[in-house]
Structure 1
Amino acid sequence: MRKSAATLLLALALPFGALAQAPVQYTVAFPNAVHHEARVTVVFAELPAGPLQVRMARSSPGRYALHEFAKNVYDVQATDSKGKTLAVGRPDPYGWDVSGHDGTVRFTYTLFGDRTDGTYAGIDAGHAHLNMPATLAFARGLEQRPAEVKFDTPTGWQVATQLRPDAAKGTYYAPHLQYLMDSPTSLGPQKVRSWQQQGQTIEMSVLHEGTDAELDTYVDWTKKIVQEAGAVFGELPAYDFGRYTFVANYLPQTSGDGMEHRNSTSLTSNRPLRGPGAIDNLGTVSHEFFHAWNVERIRPRDLEPFDFERANMSNSLWFAEGFTQYYGELLLRRAGIYNDADYCQEALGGLVGAMLNSPGAARYSPVQMSQQAPFVDAAAAIDPNNRGNTYLSYYYIGGANALALDMMLRQQHKTTLDAYMRAVWQQHGKTQQNYAPAKPYTLADLQRILGEVSKDTAFAGQFFRQHILGHELPKFEELLAPAGLLVRRARAGQASLVGRLTFNPADSTATLGSTLIGSPLYQAGLDREDVLQKIDGQRLSSAKAVQDLLATHKPGDALPVEYRTRGGLRTAQVTLAEDPTLEVVPYETVKRPVTKAMKKFRADWLGGKAK
């Protein structure tokens, strides 16, 4: 049979010998979708002798903790090519060994899924949103085989996925397991909008309950984000099948999430495509689309290839996620979705405040925060922890350092973070092979390229020692001043306990959350689960009552606090602190003069770059 040019190119990209291997064939059906079940059948053919080791993934691309997807699999059965029932053993909690086959195993199971987000599977009578590691079993030793997936869907459901469609077969194709597991799929009554960008198709396939007009406006904003992201790197990636898909589910039953993938992203939110919710959703669009370069193609060596059977640790999530966090918000400003004041309030204030007020950021480096991902990235645990004092998300510590580095490059080295990202792209992202980066990067690579772009290897070395391998805090007040932006206390002069209280209306008390190092409550010896009974002789009837009480005092005042701890009733003197919340505001807001140089600096930084 004559091969098309696309098929020939795909064949050349596969590992030697892969063409001779029978594809793994999946069928996903929904006979009981109303009860959140799918029935999945997998055919493994041309197998060598011996037991077949079938497994469910334990982790998922873009997620770093263990999620144990096998817990939602049951009614497992296996037969051979003649329909003979095969013995299925359970060697561990994560999979099944099938023995006695004749070279073919037909493996069937029921999957339960009722969480629509980027990690799990969400199935109901109206739609299915499938993250593949949570959905499809695989066999050890067959990871390089291509896969074909058939979705047996109810009438009216369409398929949104980065898998390559094969209209003749009615199936969807993946070249190997890594690509299959990286391909989220949405099934339902899709509304599709597509456009051409640099000779490639960008499409948004959406499930939502709003109007077509709302969707059209949302897509118009998305187009601007796509253009601004492409301007950072000077080009779009070469999408493997010439297409990038926003796989979007904006239904009331969904959980808020965004998950990057090689030629698509999974977007889930219960916020509608109108009003403030639309802006929040666009922030996720912006962040996840930037990942098409940073982390999908510009990829750290310690995540390549992704291991589906263990937690994946990386030293570089401060760059992969944190620098993307910075750009996700910056692109909203450059696209005109934010103005300067919005950008300061919605993005900069959060980054700067988190960095400067976090006890963890003053103790541990971005590299060390990245290494914590298997414990914090949607990881489940029931024991208390002390992360309030030891941890700051790699999103925030990385994003804050991206902001600081951008300011340093612009002020001291006559270049920009954009130029740095383009250089990393050219050296470690643009060239791909077998649907993966040809040269995944290391920390040393990132430092070396910073030296090249800044033309100052001493600066690059110092920045990494102090701010990436170390934990020195940037001087944001100085760094943002040339842009005419002020870092200040949001509630200057206001007294605060600097603590998290959960109020108990039944007896007008409040239970403490974990107390932060250096805070008034920590200094006074109070800790998590202590119950405050009175402050300055007054009962704690509500948050407003506490705020009203604190409003009559100033920072430095000492108040008696009666509380119940594990050792019994206690009284302590608590010295109030100034509310530490920080904000970033344009000089215009506080009627400070804005010079021409400041306006130019700000415009060069925040202005749109798309032609």
Structure 2
Amino acid sequence: MRKSAALLFLALPLALSQPAAAQAPTRYNVAFPNAVHHEARISVTFAEVPAAPLQVRMARSSPGRYALHEFAKNVYDVQATDSKGKPLTVTKPDPYGWDVAGHDGTVVFTYTLFGDRTDGTYAGIDSRHAHLNAPAALAFARGLEQRPAEVKFDVPPGWTVATQLRPDAATGTYYAPNTQYLMDSPTSLGPHKLRTWQERGKTIELQVLHDGTDAELDTYTEQTKKIVKEAGAVFGGLPDYDFGRYTFIANYMPQTSSDGMEHRNSTSLTSSRPLRGPGALDNLGTVSHEFFHGWNVERIRPQDLEPFDFSKANMSSNLWFAEGFTQYYGELLLRRAGIYTDAEYCQEAVGPLVNAMLNSPGAARYSPVYMSQQAPFVDAAAAIDPNNRANTYLSYYYIGGANALALDLLLRQNHKTDLDTYMRAVWEQHGKAQRDFAPVRPYTLPDLQRILGEVSKDTAFAGTFFRRHIYGHELPKFDELLAPAGLQVRRARAGQASLGSRTTFNPADSSATLGTTLLGSALYQAGLDREDVLLKVDGQRLPTSQALTKIMAAHKPGDTVPLEVRTRDGVRTVQVTLQEDPALEVVPLPNATRKQLAFRKAWLAGKAK
């Protein structure tokens, strides 16, 4: 909101008299008198306010999220007073905020916030902790967004504060230079376990709430250190963190929802998975992804997201790069850090990207730019009407990650360079230089194409790649691209027959309800669609998924079988020609040559020194 806020500010007489940093800060007090019932009581003091009614608002969207979330829905018991404690008139001009009139230059705005979802978008409050995403928790005033903010937390005994905000030990407050920065600063409150270390002269800290042991946290910390080292190796160093540190704000408790949300000098990590067993690996994947965002999207910012507008959904054409390339690197760093083996990396990272890209009807129809523009409709957006996204959409995480994989391999095979070099060039030109907590030169799509031409020393290649794969929707030839690394793309269930649709089994009547049928699948071609019910397949009922698997095992691709179905126009029998299960996987060749192994090592081996 930096540009729009500045324009609003110029209309105010007070704003003409002194710079924003010299004006009275917005002061927040956050207390938890009823945490057991998921409530916080928040008071905001706005001082030196112009004579007009003060427009107090809650954000409608949140950095890193692109849909509307309407955070005002969880705000109630609103009151306002002036500097002498006199009640003020509060009116509601829209669903998102309140106007306060009759003040004496000071407005003390107080409200109750309800929050019972611990993740990167909302607020989670209970007797054990509070996890606050600032846009979901903190009201702000229009026209005062450029002023600094100070936050004081009244916390129960034993709770500590984990945040990227700058602490002031003398006053017990936390500082943000403006509202934009405040809204990008999550805070966790509770009995954190702290682990801290130095990396390339920067302080990195893990502030963790979890139910496990100190030994489990120590092991997790050592793995995180390796990830941090490998991420720094990609860019040749760490960013200059604003207040000298980067904080992993982690909540790994049973009541939390799985999420990761990047911020400028921190990341919000939430999961009900513990720091042991398979859950630890899943959590580390989020650590790796979100830490890479400290460069890509937090400092290497697309121009169409700079500044972020909290009053509306935010659309970008560049999430295939901001999120998709980060998705690729998040998994690659796990391999380079030695957390994955080659085979595990293929199974957990490369295979899913290739399978999603080549088997998604949407990827064959629409470009990564288009998929990015769909984020306001899919990024945790809520809707009750059915959609056809199974046939029209592939997440910008996957379509971007798959194109990152393809581009890395193309650069290595044909241009004597790699994606690391490309990312460093983008960082040097569009991320490293920062001013007023924002990039000096946010990038555009033409910038990304231009830098690819510079790094590859082939502007024709760069233009072709963007035309075919970024603005267009041509699918990469992954079998050819992965072969030099001794990796094979193959059918995961070769020779197995399949109907090609997700189904929900109904034990009450031994039937199965279809999900959306995919373009080109056997069921789609037979004219069957979502909510149609399979009553019998090849004359047999379907009490369980195993029953359908057994029927398919008795057939081969190309066989025609009768399906008795109940559709919207009644019960009928249709003939369906079975297809081979389309699922793909990527596996290392057991007889890879020395040259292939050398190529793979140059790509996947650790780079940190």
TM range (shorter): over 0.9
Cα offsets for 1:506-549 (capped at 9, x unmatched): 11111111100000000000001011100111011110000001
Candidates 140, 143, 160, aligned match of 1:158: 160
Q: Runs of 4 or more off by more than 4 Å in structure 1?
A: none
TM-score calculated relative to the size of structure 2: 0.97
Matches within 5 A, 1:388-403: 388-403=390-405
| Residue aligned with 2:329, SS | helix
Q: Deviations over 1:251-289 (max 9, x none)?
A: 000000000000000000000001110000000000000
Gaps of 5+ in 2: 1-16
| 1:158-187 Cα shifts (integer Å, max 9, x gaps) | 000000000111000000011100000000
Hey, what's the Cα distance between the residues in 2 that align with 1:533 and 1:139?
Answer: 59
**For residue 490 of structure 2, what is the aligned residue in structure 1?**
488
Letter in 2 for 1:162: Q
Map residues 518-597 of structure 1 onto 2, 5 A cutoff: 518-588=520-590, 593-597=591-595
- 2:494 is paired with a residue whose SS is coil
Q: Residue in 1 aligned with 2:120? A: 118
What letter matches 2:316 in structure 1?
Answer: S
- Whole-angstrom distance in 1 between the partners of 2:164 and 2:184: 9
Matches within 5 A, 1:113-512: 113-512=115-514
Shift of 1:343: 0.1
Secondary structure of 1:195 counterpart: strand
Q: Distance in 2 between matches of 1:290 and 1:570?
A: 53
Q: What SS does the corresponding residue of 2:80 show, helix, strand or coil? A: strand
Amino acid at match of 1:469: Y
Specify the SS of the correspondent of 1:118.
coil
Matched residue SS, 2:384: coil
Write the distance in 2 (CA, Å) between the matches of 1:179 and 1:571.
61
SS of aligned partner of 1:570: strand
Give the TM-score of the pair, scaled to structure 1.
0.97
- 2-side partners of 1:148 and 1:193: how far apart? 26
C-alpha offsets along residues 304-326 of structure 1, whole Å, 9 cap, x if unaligned? 00000000000000000000000
> Which residue in the other structure is 1:10 paired with?
none
Task: After TM superposition, give the deviation of residue 18 of structure 1 in Å.
Answer: 2.0
d(CA) in 1 for partners of 2:61, 2:205: 28
Could you tell me which amino acid in structure 2 is paired with residue 527 of structure 1? Answer: D
| TM-align CA RMSD | 0.8
Measured in 1, the distance between the counterparts of 2:110 and 2:51 equals 20
AA paired with 1:283? G
Letter in 1 for 2:596: M
Judge which range, 364-373 or 569-578, deviates more.
569-578
Distance change in 2, residues 1:428/1:16 (3 Å): farther
1:5 alignment counterpart: none
Post-superposition Cα deviations, 1:443-466, rounded to whole Å, max 9, x if no partner, equal: 000000000000000000000000
Distance 1:418 1:19 in 2: 39
Code of the residue aligned with 2:477 in structure 1: it is K
- Show the counterpart of 1:3: none
State the Cα distance separating 1:419 from its structure 2 match. 0.1
Q: CA deviation digits over 1:465-495, x for unaligned, max 9?
A: 0000000000000000000000000000000
1:72 maps to 2:74: yes
Q: Deviations over 1:118-177 (max 9, x none)?
A: 000000000000000000000000110000000000000000000000011100000001
Alpha-carbon distance in structure 2 between the residues aligned to 1:210 and 1:167: 30
* Partners of 2:138 and 2:36 in 1: CA distance: 20
CA distance in 2, matches of 1:239, 1:459: 36
d(CA) in 1 for partners of 2:112 and 2:21? Answer: 30
Give the number of aligned pairs. 593
Q: CA deviation at 1:397?
A: 0.0
**Counterpart among 53, 56, 62 of residue 54 in structure 1:** 56
- Helix, strand or coil for the counterpart of 1:71? helix
The AA in structure 1 aligned to 2:184 is D
Asked if 1 retains the 8 angstrom alpha-carbon contact of 2:288 and 2:333, the reply is: yes
Q: What amino acid does structure 2 have at the position aligned with 1:221?
A: Q
Which residue does 1:11 correspond to in 2?
none
Aligned-pair CA distance for 1:607: 0.2
User: Quick one: which amino acid aligns to residue 326 of structure 1?
Assistant: Y
Q: For 1:104 and 1:400, how far apart are their aligned partners in 2?
A: 53
- Decide whether aligned partners of structure 1 residues 16 and 547 sit closer, same or farther in structure 2, where only a CA change above 3 A counts: farther
Does residue 608 of the first structure (1) align with residue 609 of the second (2)? no
- Give the deviation of 1:20 after TM superposition: 2.0
State the SS of the aligned residue for 2:524. helix
Instruction: Quote the Cα distance in structure 1 between the aligned partners of 2:583 and 2:364.
Output: 17
1:538 alignment partner, SS class = coil
SS of residue matched to 1:98: strand
User: Take 2:367 and 2:191, find their aligned partners in 1: how far apart are those partners?
Assistant: 46
Farther-moved stretch of structure 1 (311-320 vs 567-576): 567-576
Alpha-carbon contact 2:70-2:96 (below 8 Å) kept: yes
Gaps of 5+ in 1: 1-14
Post-superposition Cα deviations, 1:553-576, rounded to whole Å, max 9, x if no partner, equal 000001100111111111110111
CA drift at 1:19: 2.8
1:96 aligned to which of 95, 98, 101: 98
Residue in structure 1 matched with residue 14 of structure 2 by the alignment: none
Q: Please tell me the residue identity of whatever aligns with 1:491.
A: R
Q: Secondary structure at the match of 1:110?
A: strand
Aligned residue for 1:274, secondary structure, equals coil
> 1:597 corresponds to which letter in structure 2?
K
What's the counterpart of residue 18 of structure 1? 20
Give the secondary structure class of the aligned counterpart of 1:472.
coil
Distance across 2 between alignment mates of 1:288 and 1:433 = 22
Counterparts of 2:552 and 2:115, CA distance in 1? 47
- In the TM superposition, residue 16 of structure 1 has moved relative to its aligned partner by 7.6
Is residue 21–residue 177 contact of structure 2 (8 Å, CA) maintained in 1? Answer: no
Identical aligned residues as a percent: 80
Contact preservation (8 Å) 2:56, 2:98? yes
Shift of 1:198: 1.4
1:397-422 alpha-carbon deviations (Å, 9 max, x no partner):
00000000000000000000000000
1:599 to 570, 593, 597: 597
Question: After the TM superposition, which of the residue ranges 117-126 and 17-26 deviates more from structure 2?
Answer: 17-26
Partner of 2:11: none
Deviation of 1:427 (Å) = 0.1
Query: 3-state DSSP class of the match of 2:288?
Result: helix
1:517 counterpart SS class:
coil
Partners in 2 of 1:339 and 1:47 — Cα distance? Answer: 59
**Matched residue of 2:62: which SS?**
coil
